[in-house]
């Protein structure tokens, strides 16, 4: 794949935080994929992290805090971060198009690791919410379609099932504490969101679209970070249990007190705590 970086000067100094930021594009089967590269200003070779924002498959962009603030925060701690603007499930777009973009973007980064200043042996992938579903699906596709596999993966409050799994008593009690100003995701709304992404009922059973249905054997180590006060935690925790049952190294925890999408709210202490958890996970050497 070729680098289609815009030759206009879009470099940002990252608000003098020791990083540089530039817009670029990766080649994909449906055309170019906008990406944004965040790198330590000092240069050199660093671990890499490909990041996929959320937005219910129909929203989000490279400027939202869940994309930009997360990417800046991780890059400031010594990573080259590539944030991906995959095609959204709007205007007749459905699976597998967004998934194709996420897979293609990861492969582009892996192929261009040297010029991006990334150690290819320390290249990870991650995603939040709908981006977490796309990330988990990409792991399965990379496993089954010849790779390359990332060294590890982060899934933040993902929805990876076509319908929400049953709530535990503990989760049901936590959801009762949900802010009335930000109501939780109801099972019917989750199914409607997922059906729009899938495009039809048959695709709702496709494990590449909804990795919670898949056999995840052979995936790299996964950090599954949920929000405590979030109905979607039922999906994330069920997937973590499946990963562990199939021999995948998994760290599963929730951010106490946090509601869904907390990485999109940088002012919250939960978001800042999660950044430190994410960086610690990405930096931990020699995971099994």
Catalytic residue among 46, 230, 242, 274: 230
> Looking at residue 14, what is its pLDDT?
45
- Check pLDDT > 90 for residue 280: yes
Catalytic-labelled residue, pool 99, 129, 227, 242: 129
In the prediction, which pLDDT does 288 show?
A: 58
pLDDT band for 17, please (50, 70, 90 cuts).
Answer: confident
Q: Enumerate the domain spans of the chain.
A: 19-283
181 pLDDT exceeds 70?
no
For residue 260, indicate whether it is catalytic. Answer: yes
**Cis amide linkage into residue 110, ω under 30° from 0:** no
Give the pLDDT of residue 5.
36
- Summarize pLDDT for 127-179 with one digit per residue, the tens: 999 999 999 999 999 999 999 999 999 999 999 999 999 989 999 888 887 76
pTM value? Answer: 0.93
CATH of domain 19-283: 3.40.50.1820
129 is catalytic: yes
Average pLDDT over residues 104-111: 99
pLDDT exceeds 60 at position 1: no
pLDDT given for residue 245 in this prediction: 99
Q: What does the angle CA 95 – CA 99 – CA 104 come to, to the nearest 5 degrees? A: 140
Mean pLDDT of the chain: 93
Over residues 208-236, the pLDDT tens digits come to 999 999 999 999 999 999 999 999 999 99
Q: Residue 227: its pLDDT value, please?
A: 96
Dist. CA 196–CA 200, nearest whole Å: 8
Q: What is the pLDDT of residue 187?
A: 92
- Active-site choice (46, 53, 94, 260): 260
Q: According to the model, what pLDDT value does residue 172 have?
A: 87
- Predicted pLDDT at 103: 99
CB-CB contact of 158 with 136 (8 Å): yes
Active site residue 242: no
- Determine the pLDDT at residue 267: 98
Q: What's the pLDDT tens digit per position in 35-72? A: 999 999 998 999 999 999 999 999 999 999 999 999 99
Average pLDDT over residues 108-131: 98
């Amino acid at each position: 794949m070729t680098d289609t970086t815009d030759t206009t000067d879009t470099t940002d100094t990252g608000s003098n935080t020791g990083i540089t930021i530039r817009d670029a594009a990766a080649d994909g089967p449906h055309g170019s994929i906008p990406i944004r590269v965040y790198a330590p200003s000092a240069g050199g070779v660093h671990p890499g992290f490909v990041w996929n924002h959320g937005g219910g498959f129909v929203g989000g962009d490279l400027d939202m805090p869940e994309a930009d603030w997360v990417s800046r925060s991780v890059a400031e701690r010594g990573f080259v971060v590539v944030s991906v603007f995959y095609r959204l499930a709007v205007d007749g777009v459905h699976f597998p198009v967004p998934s194709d973009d996420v897979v293609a973007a990861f492969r582009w980064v892996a192929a261009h690791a040297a010029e991006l200043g990334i150690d290819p042996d320390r290249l990870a992938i991650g995603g939040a919410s709908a981006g977490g579903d796309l990330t988990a699906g990409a792991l399965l596709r990379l496993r089954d379609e010849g790779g390359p596999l990332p060294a590890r993966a982060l899934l933040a409050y993902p929805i990876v099932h076509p319908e929400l799994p049953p709530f535990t008593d503990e989760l049901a009690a936590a959801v009762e504490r949900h802010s009335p100003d930000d109501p939780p995701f109801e099972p019917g709304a989750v199914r409607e969101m997922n059906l729009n992404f899938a495009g039809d009922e048959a695709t709702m059973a496709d494990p590449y679209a909804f990795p919670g249905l898949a056999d995840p054997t052979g995936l790299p180590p996964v950090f599954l970070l949920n929000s405590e006060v979030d109905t979607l935690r039922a999906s994330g925790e069920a997937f973590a249990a499946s990963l562990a049952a199939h021999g995948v190294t998994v760290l599963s925890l929730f951010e106490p007190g946090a509601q869904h999408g907390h990485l999109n709210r940088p002012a919250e202490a939960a978001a800042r705590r999660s950044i430190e958890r994410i960086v610690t996970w990405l930096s931990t050497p020699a995971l099994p």
